[in-house]
A and B are shown apart, each in its own frame.
Chain A
Amino acid sequence: MITAAWIALFSPAVAVVLLALAGRRVSGRQAGLVTATAVLVSFAGAVVAFVTLLGEDPGERANASTIWTWLSAGSFKAGLEIYLDPLSVFMMLVVSGVGFLIVCYATGYVHGEDEERRYHAYKALFVFSMLLLVMSGNLLLLLAGWGMVGLSSYLLINFWWYKPQAVAAGKKAFIINAFGDATFVLALFLIIQKVGSVDFTTVFSQAPDKIGAGTTVAILIALGLLGGAVAKSAQLPLHTWLPDAMEGPTPVSALIHAATMVTAGVYLIARTHVLFDLAPAVHDTAAILGGVTIVVAGLIALVQTDIKRVIAYSTMSQIGYMFVGVGLGAYGPGMFHLMTHAFFKALLFMTAGIVIHCISAEQDIRKMGGLARHLPWTYRLFLVGALSLAAIPPFSGFFSKDSILSSAIGAGGLGIAMWVLGIIGAFLTGLYTFRLLFIVFFGEESEFAKQHLHKERFEGPFAMMWPVAILAVLAAFAGWLQVPGGWALVTDWLDPVVESIPEATGGLLVFSIAGSLVAAALGVLVAWRLYGRPSHVPAMLRERFAFGHRVLEHKFYFDQLYDALFSRPSAALAVGLNRVVEKPLILGSAGDIGTGVRGLARRVAQTESGLVRLYALLIAAGLVVILVVFLAVQ
């Protein structure tokens, strides 16, 4: 099993190296094949690990393996160490499984691009980094994976480097993530100082003693970790990079910004839950941030006109649910929702990608309409994803979202407040999801669609269709793994690693389920009323609530706020320093030094008159001085 795990980890890395060395010698298709094979190997390794863990005793399911000690200083050791336990294997399966499907999809999507090979190499790099992140056995290696997924994300967001918006988006993502990385590293320093180690078993077993509950250090550590998680998972307030990241190709949005990278924050909180338990205030903050994000992101999604951006805000909102889950201690439901969300969000992105592909790369939904007639299968697949997202039973989203909500309401106190936010979010989710579906697929065909629509035999290229179909099946049926009030396979599986709070039972459970169902159905109905049929109501609403509409359109002015708080002062500081310090002192001084030396040299050169007599005179004068010195010394 350990060997299988190592192979699973390094297989995509090998793919990257091969592709980097092969360069132009392979075709784009072959590059895609290499990456897909590598990820499939990883998935196989994950399955092997999973099966082997199943065979083990639940209490014994924790295996660590180190192949290289990188840093050894006294008693502190850190190296290339993997840790196989239910949580990491769970993540491995999700990452490599969904990753494989998306990579195959991508071979169709980027076929024909000039830089197809580079894309596949970057994809392989990303899968490797993500696997490194989830499989690592110590916090330092996790940080390495953390940084590398950030890098891969940056590389893939501005894949089309000649587009200035893409470049700007890549930079924005990287910088905001860098902030999270910085807080993470600071937390890591504190951990090393207090516990003297970074590997999981040591840290988690000794943290309660060495760090203590409720101490300032514990709060700082948890805050640092939370900062990293919030940045990586695009929760408020570090969320502004995710919508811009849609500049990347659609499979990138599907894999990185829906299924895997953005869920790394959730994984981190689940993995380091021991440290969060030591700082309950920060733990609650995570839940609160998640709850607020659910609502804010849902509101913004209502007015977006770019198909991918709607789905992006939806991702933000759903991760909010996951944060509520892990924030309140419902780790099982949170991770379960992570899995189902990976399925249906990737599904949504990929079907959106098929739509975009079929109308010549147009993403504005106002230019679409009535596409269900032309792309029936795409529509049906999208519908499955939408129903799942809106948490309509029996699709998977229903089960996972309700797991979280019932745990929340069962937790009492803060949990109830989060439950309320979650219900509002369910309403908004139904509303914006079906708004999107109705605008794109129903109604009259737009002029644009009529002119630019082109389909292939299976509506999209075959390579793009079959992974989507598989995901649709998963999105439809994966929910049955955990039924609130019935069985909870995921929570049980994760129990040895992270104990989850119990879900609500009995009347409270029924109340919660009813509440979320009602909210979701209401959302769908309102969407149907407003967008399913031709109606003047949306326009009227836009006028009546013009101010609100503007606020939502500008995404609550977060971007402008950050611009004013951070970018403008930094830019002004740089300009100021350039003017005051760089130019006069450094650049100017170089010129001044040169001029000064030249002037001095000119004055010295005047002594070289060429007259031998003068030189002899100077020698004689020197002799006089020496004689005086000798006499004086005597």
Chain B
Amino acid sequence: MNGPGIAAYLVLSTILFTTGAIGVLIRRSPLIVLLALEIMLNAGNLSLIAFSRHSGDGAGQIFALAVMVVAAAEVVVGLGLIVAMSRKHVPLDVDKLDTLKG
């Protein structure tokens, strides 16, 4: 293969994952949290594809496609929730959504 080895891709994937994770943990807007979640998923996808190339097995790519499907479905539901929340005038702030307290 030309270019950098698998390890480089993996490091890239890790940095992306960490960025997404910190985004999920720090941001307060549910929209941004969803976006950061997407980043995390894609980071996972990247390492899947990298390993697939590394081992020559197409299963990694299949898996990545499945992850994409799941992410898409999750986004649909998540955004539906956010729209419903805004319609009910629930504040769009993760810290304020604590009815499960206790």
Binding site for B on A (CB under 8 A): 605, 608-613, 616-617, 620
Contacts of A613 in B (CB 8 A): 25, 94-95
Contact A616 B101 (CB under 8 A): no
Contact A610 B24 (CB under 8 A): no
Contact B101 A608 (CB under 8 A): yes
State the CA gap A608–B98 with chains docked (Å): 9
Contact A610 B100 (CB under 8 A): yes
Contact A620 B25 (CB under 8 A): yes
- Which of the residues A610, A617, A620 comes within 8 Å of B101, measured between beta carbons? A610
- Which of the residues B21, B25, B98 comes within 8 Å of A609, measured between beta carbons? B98
Contacts of B94 in A (CB 8 A): 611-613
A617-B25, A620-B25 known; A611-B95 Cβ under 8 A: yes
Q: How many residues of B contact A (CB 8 A)?
A: 11
Please give 11 more A-B residue pairs, beta carbons under 8 A apart, in addition to A608-B100, A609-B101, A612-B94.
A605-B102, A610-B97, A610-B98, A610-B99, A610-B101, A610-B102, A612-B97, A613-B25, A613-B94, A616-B24, A620-B21
Q: Which residue of A lies closest to B22 (CB)?
A: A620
Contacts of A609 in B (CB 8 A): 98, 101
Contact count A vs B, C-beta below 8 Å: 25
Chain B 23-55 interface mask (CB, 8 Å, partner A; 1/0): 011000000000000000000000000000000
CB distance from B61 to the nearest CB of A (A): 25
Interface SS, A side: helix
Contacts of B95 in A (CB 8 A): 611, 613
State the CA gap A620–B19 with chains docked (Å): 13
CB distance from A624 to the nearest CB of B (A): 10
State the CA gap A515–B22 with chains docked (Å): 119
Contacts of B25 in A (CB 8 A): 613, 616-617, 620
Contacts of A608 in B (CB 8 A): 100-102
CB distance from A289 to the nearest CB of B (A): 76
Contacts of B101 in A (CB 8 A): 608-610
State which residues 79-101 of B face A: CB under 8 Å: 94-95, 97-101
Contacts of A620 in B (CB 8 A): 21, 25
State the CA gap A616–B95 with chains docked (Å): 12
Contacts of B102 in A (CB 8 A): 605, 608, 610
CB distance from A489 to the nearest CB of B (A): 94
Contacts of A617 in B (CB 8 A): 25
CB distance from B90 to the nearest CB of A (A): 14
State the CA gap A616–B21 with chains docked (Å): 9
CB distance from B101 to the nearest CB of A (A): 3
CB distance from B88 to the nearest CB of A (A): 18
State the CA gap A612–B97 with chains docked (Å): 8
Q: Which residue of A lies closest to B21 (CB)?
A: A620
State the CA gap A617–B21 with chains docked (Å): 9
CB distance from A604 to the nearest CB of B (A): 11
Contacts of B24 in A (CB 8 A): 616
CB distance from A563 to the nearest CB of B (A): 60
